[in-house]
Amino acid sequence: MVVQQGQTPVPQPLGSAVGQLAGPLTSGQPEIAAPSDVERSSRLASRRQWERRYTSNLRITDTAIVICAVLLAQYVRFGRTAVAEQAMSDYQTAYSAGLVVIWLAALAGFRTRSPKYMSAGIEEYRRVVTASFWTFGAVAMGELLLKLELSRGYLAVALPVGTLCLVLNRWMWRDHVVRQRASGRYQSAVLAIGDTEAVTNLASELADDPCSGYQVVGIGIPAYGPPRGEYLTINGREVPIVGGVPYLLDAIKGCGADTVAIAGTEYFGVKGIRRLIWELEPMNVELLVSPGVMDVARSRLAVRPIAGLPLLCIDKPQYQGAKRLQKRVFDFCFASVALTVASPVLVVTALAIKLTSRGPVFYSSERIGIDGKPFSMLKFRTMVEDADKELDTLLSANESDGLLFKIRNDPRVTPVGRFLRRFSIDELPQFINVLRQEMSVVGPRPPLRREVEQYDDDVQRRLLVKPGVTGLWQVSGRSDLPWEKAVRLDLSYVDNWSMVTDILIIAKTVRAVFGRSGAY
């Protein structure tokens, strides 16, 4: 919502406005209250300081890990005497030192310590693994050419131990940064540029994910004109409108931004974007350009420079063919192991339900599966017998904002059932549905028939894959999620599915279950 202090001008074609990016703010117009140059310099210095500290800490811990991994490999390869009594030859010592140097150089060469990859999904870990395997690949090829026989012992110990420790090291530092960002630190100040709808969406997405490290501090709207003290209210926070394109560079200084994010490039054109890049370079300001797509995994994205233009190629979803067979095999194996390991819990739970309330142990509910086919989903019964008959009397107390029915303190839930729901034990029988090939271990939330009947064309895409025992909805808030967010997560999963994603979701599910948030 735009709160105005004057009449908003009708947007005009930019024309030569793009060429006026460095022009001054128009005099005589009210301006947005802005931090001084000293305050902006302080912000930039603070960002550079924590980034340097982060990189330095990573360099120290990486060096310690690589040295320890190589020393361990040296110990295994040459024995205690060679290490403790320093009886190795100068050649062996030089070999170990050289391996450390090459490994650390590879980590630096693959930019594994760059702050920009802290929020890039698994890209940070991928670069660490790639650098490690490249190191040992290069060393192995060198020894093959020189006909040496030293690397096999190092490879068998140093590679797995060192790589695993390096990945865990990244995970711990990343967790530290996430906690800092959640508390409002380690943030980049962003000036978002684009039409009202585009920048509102961009700012809202960044505000919903403070751990990404970007906070919108100003909004520029092309053809808006000079600033007039207006603002956009985004997620309950007022973000000032700093003016149109000709006032962009002065606005960067005014709002203290160290990053410019463009949501839609149609107002700039090719020459305008190039000019903007040149203008931002001496200011040490980062430029981000939104391609206008959402919820596309990095694995599906590739930038292809064609005819001098950086074109974004988006691969199609991968839930068909061999990928589906791969997922089916994984589901069967995982469900079999899960039911076997959890069998004592299943027995105790069944006894607790039978001894504390009337009714069957299991609750069977019709759900809609892949391609719209109905099936009976199994759960441990957590409510009183015939609880469905009381639903009509409770509809007025529904706390969900969409098609779901959820009540935080549902009177139909039994004391044992409340405990089962809190730790998601009631969902363990769904692994039987997985063995029946009606569900998957990971997938969209299994919907009711009445929900599916109200789906629009977009939401129907949820039915292209099997519903899951867990999913993005499970690890992102469960019952606390608004309907629109839950649907978006399901659609994102359908379009971006991969085995790596499934494994990560399963790992996060364990944390979500013990965190108990959104479980009722």
pTM higher than 0.85 for the full model? no
Q: Side by side, which strands form the sheet with 188-194?
A: 2-3, 231-234, 237-243, 214-220, 188-194, 259-263, 286-290
Which amino acid, residue 22? A
Q: Which tops the pLDDT comparison, 83 or 9?
A: 83
- What whole-number distance in Å separates Cα of residue 220 and Cα of residue 223? 9
pLDDT > 70 fraction of the chain, expressed in percent and rounded: 79
- H/E element, 234: strand 231-234
Over residues 401-412, the pLDDT tens digits come to 556 666 767 778
- Residue 119 pLDDT: 60
Helix segments in 436-498, DSSP class H: 449-452, 472-475, 483-496
- Residue 6 pLDDT: 37
Check: CB of residue 290 under 8 Å from CB of residue 268. no
Over residues 277-318, the pLDDT tens digits come to 888 888 888 898 888 777 777 777 778 888 777 888 887 777
Could you tell me the pLDDT band of residue 84, with boundaries at 50, 70 and 90?
A: very low
Mean pLDDT of the chain: 79
Over residues 211-232, the pLDDT tens digits come to 788 889 899 988 888 888 888 8
- Among candidate residues 138, 156, 57, the one with its CA nearest the CA of residue 98: 138
How large is the average pLDDT for residues 494-508? 86
Q: Which tops the pLDDT comparison, 368 or 394?
A: 368
What are the structural domains of the chain?
A: 2-30+187-292 (3.40.50.20), 47-182 (no CATH), 322-515 (no CATH)
- Residue 51 pLDDT: 84
Does the pLDDT of residue 20 top 60, yes or no? Answer: no
- Residue 34 pLDDT: 44
Check: CB of residue 154 under 8 Å from CB of residue 70. yes
- What whole-number distance in Å separates Cα of residue 287 and Cα of residue 17? 19
Could you tell me the pLDDT band of residue 11, with boundaries at 50, 70 and 90?
A: very low
